[in-house]
Amino acid sequence: MAAQCVTKVELTIACTNLLDKDVGSKSDPLCVLLQNTSGQQWYEVDRTERIKNSLNPKFSKKFLIDYYFELVQKLKFGIYDIDNKTFDLSDDDFLGEFECTLGQIVSSKTITKPLVLKNGRPAGRGSITITAEEVKDNRVVVFEVEARKLDNKVECYDYDSDGSHDLIGSFQTTMSKLKEASRSSPVEFECINEKKRQKKKNYKNSGIVSVKHCEIIVECTFLDYIMGGCQLNFTVGIDFTGSNGDPRSPDSLHYLSPNGVNEYLTAIWSVGMVIQDYDTDKMFPAFGFGAQIPPSFQVSHEFPLNFNPSNPFCNGIQGIVDAYRACLPQVKLYGPTNFSPIINHVARFAAAATQQQTASQYFILLIITDGVITDLDQTRTAIVNASKLPMSIIIVGVGGADFDAMEFLDGDNGVLRSSSGEPAVRDIVQFVPFRKFQNSPKEALAQCVLAEVPQQVVNYFSTYKLQPPKSPAAK
């Protein structure tokens, strides 16, 4: 599995038209940030400075937070009027609060919302503006080698395959000097090895470095794309084949427990709750496959859960859940287990998005299945074709079936090839068996299946040199 995409996000806070709790002067506001990532207790992350006599404070202290795409990171911003020197806030006047997720903030970059009281009622007045910026290192590319900082010094090495590279020498320069280089007028530097110069009296240099071309390339991060306007489009495909068992039977994988859930719904909630923050309209298409559907009860491998082919969208993750529950008693579970129709369906929309020539849309397909895939050759070809598109596929296997074929599609053990031998240009499939997470915290499934998505997004858009609709400025 790829390493988690971890980065730092800096949040700047400002408020307007706050409640005035002081007599003879204005409120002295402070903002406290609380976080909750596991559904447990809120804990304090940090506080801003107190600003005296201001109902429209712009706090200079910024909040620094580790950002994880694969987690729902709940944040709560509380505004207090501070009139004493105690750390405890319970003896200070509460002016209002605002609760959201970090995903909602970074996907909008700047949000302005009214403050509410702790009982959820409007505070009456006052709003908060939160602006997010990714914290980055300064990076430059020199001789196709990435360096953290140029620091005016470039070192040249003699490469050795075992890693014991030998220093040839170094030279001092600046980026402005390197940018003067051209093929007709190269910029040249003497490469000096200080140890050799000290040992040899007649030492001149260890060679001349001639720079004929210098290009500054802005390498976008995942947050550059998200903050730049890229939308993540989420689609769900659900297995309604007969091997799931009669939904009315407690032994069925589609059986709804007394509290109204099953493994299918748990997977939808887990993954969907993360991704929904990155889609503005929160309208998600949801499909089923492998069932006989009304009114003719012909087998379909690509039917909308709401039975509306012209508008298969569900309103939010709850809308997908509601459509699934309503659909279940109306269809007859059948077979076989074919993935390729739904993959090709989403791929058509991903292909259309490439016409925009910007990194504006990326598609994530979640397939939840219980059994051995039937159309393996067609699915392999569909995935290979989809690997050329802004698209990732997540497969969650429910139940206790043999999922060897799914592991094969994952591509972690080698490049996936189509039935004709064409290789996938990217690894876009992530498979996990649900049973691996049955006794884990509810966030664990999403953390696992979504961990690779940020890098897949970056790899696709960088490969095709696509910039976000609102491109980041070169640093």
Q: How confident is the model at residue 472, as a pLDDT?
A: 58
How far is 303 from 307, CA to CA, in rounded Å?
Answer: 7
Smallest CA-to-CA distance from 101 within 77, 129, 127, 72 is with 72
Smallest CA-to-CA distance from 209 within 224, 227, 192, 189 is with 189
Identify the bridge partners of residue 34 per DSSP, sorted by sequence position: 44, 76
How far is 63 from 101, CA to CA, in rounded Å?
Answer: 14
Cα 286 off chain centre by: 21
How far is 264 from 128, CA to CA, in rounded Å?
Answer: 38
Smallest CA-to-CA distance from 435 within 466, 401, 388 is with 401
Cα dihedral: 193, 197, 202, 203 (round 10): 0
CB atoms near residue 196 (< 10 Å): 14
How far is 127 from 74, CA to CA, in rounded Å?
Answer: 19
Which residues in the chain show pLDDT less than 70? 1-6, 39, 137-151, 412-413, 471-475
CB burial of 170-192 (b: ≥16 within 10 Å; e: otherwise) equals bbebeeeebeebeeeeebebebb
CA angle 7, 364, 304 (to 5 degrees): 150
How far is 16 from 127, CA to CA, in rounded Å?
Answer: 5
The model's pLDDT over 54-75, given as tens digits with 9 standing for 90+, comes to 999 999 999 999 999 999 999 9
How far is 207 from 204, CA to CA, in rounded Å?
Answer: 9
Identify the bridge partners of residue 132 per DSSP, sorted by sequence position: 11
Q: Is 402 helix (H, G, I), strand (E, B) or coil?
A: coil
Helix (H) or strand (E) holding 381: helix 376-386
Q: How confident is the model at residue 218, as a pLDDT?
A: 72
The model's pLDDT over 38-53, given as tens digits with 9 standing for 90+, comes to 767 899 999 999 999 9
Which pairing describes strands 140-142 and 145-147: parallel, antiparallel, or unpaired? antiparallel
Q: How confident is the model at residue 146, as a pLDDT?
A: 41
Quick check: pTM over 0.85?
no
Cα dihedral: 196, 200, 201, 206 (round 10): -50
